[in-house]
């Protein structure tokens, strides 16, 4: 297969994830599409944790707001909010690994129907080593793990696969997957298709998804 369907923009994938996040929760957003979620939850009762050692991370800083001592884990200047606090890296990862973060949202290169995913290393780079960052800790410790990504590669190759060919970040940890084309639950039975992007059918989504999808009886259009 090498096929590319037209779906949501990256911003709208982020919106769909934002709609899934509950008020009163602590959330960590990874690099890529997850970072865009912060725009959609501004003003909501959701507190963002940043691996670098910050709770209640505010919007990106611009102009005079920029402070080199206040960045997020993606190396972007951010702002503080009333109630923001700072702590060292050991405390930050105690929070993450210790089960204190309700939801982590991460990007991915590949994911399979058992909730394994790959994100930290692209073998095309030809290096055994790579940038692990905080990804594996978030997988190990967050109460729920969401993946937000494009459904296929730019070339239309499967990213949702039967078997990972990229190095795994974590095994069996993903709860829910949000793409430009669909919302999919990872269940003990496999991938359950819950929502499809406007204008698409479950069959369309299946056609760009390698593992067999279980079509939810109440599958519907994505709630944006």
Give the residue numbers annotated as catalytic, written as ranges. 51
Site for other proteins in 75-94 (CB under 8 A): 75-77, 80, 82-94
Instruction: Print the binding letters for residues 47-76 with other proteins: x by CB under 8 A, - otherwise.
Output: x-xxxxxxxx---------xxxxxxxx-xx
The pair of structure tokens assigned to 123 is 């073998």
Give how many residues touch other proteins by CB under 8 A.
71
- Please give the Cα distance from 185 to 169 (Å, whole number): 19
Instruction: Between 1 and 171, name the residue whose CB sits nearer to other proteins.
Output: 171
Using CA atoms, how far apart are residues 109 and 30, in angstroms rounded to an integer?
A: 13
Please choose, out of 13-21, 135-143, 184-192, 197-205, the segment that lies near other proteins by the rule CB under 8 A: 135-143
Taking alpha carbons only, the member of 84, 114, 97, 127 closest to residue 189 is 114
Q: How far is CA 172 from CA 117, 188, 222, in A?
A: 8, 9, 25
Told to check if 112 binds other proteins by CB under 8 A, we report no
Kindly state whether residue 135 participates in binding other proteins, applying the rule CB under 8 A.
yes
Q: How far is the CB of 143 from other proteins (least distance, A)?
A: 12
Enter the DSSP assignment of 112. Answer: E
* Other residues' Cβ atoms within 10 Å of the Cβ of residue 45: 9
Footprint of other proteins on 155-184 (CB under 8 A): 167-172
């Amino acid at each position: 297969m090498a096929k590319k369907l037209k779906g949501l923009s990256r911003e709208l994938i982020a919106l769909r994830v934002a709609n899934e996040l509950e008020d009163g929760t602590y959330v960590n957003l990874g690099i890529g599409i997850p970072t865009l979620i912060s725009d959609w939850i501004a003003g909501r009762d959701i507190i963002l944790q940043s691996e670098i050692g910050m709770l209640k991370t505010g919007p990106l800083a611009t102009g005079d707001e920029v402070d080199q001592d206040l960045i997020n884990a993606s190396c972007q200047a951010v702002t503080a909010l009333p109630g923001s606090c700072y702590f060292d890296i050991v405390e930050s990862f105690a929070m993450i690994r210790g089960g204190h973060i309700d939801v982590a949202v991460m990007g991915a290169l590949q994911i399979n129907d058992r909730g394994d995913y790959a994100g930290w290393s692209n073998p095309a780079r030809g290096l055994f080593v790579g940038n692990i960052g905080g990804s594996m800790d978030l997988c190990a410790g967050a109460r729920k793990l969401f993946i937000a990504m494009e459904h296929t590669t730019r070339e239309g190759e499967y990213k949702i696969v039967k078997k990972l060919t990229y190095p795994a970040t974590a095994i069996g940890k993903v709860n829910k997957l949000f793409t430009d084309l669909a919302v999919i639950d990872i269940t003990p039975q496999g991938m359950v298709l819950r929502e499809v992007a406007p204008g698409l059918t479950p069959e369309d989504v299946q056609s760009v998804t390698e593992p067999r999808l279980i079509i939810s009886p109440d599958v519907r259009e994505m709630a944006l």
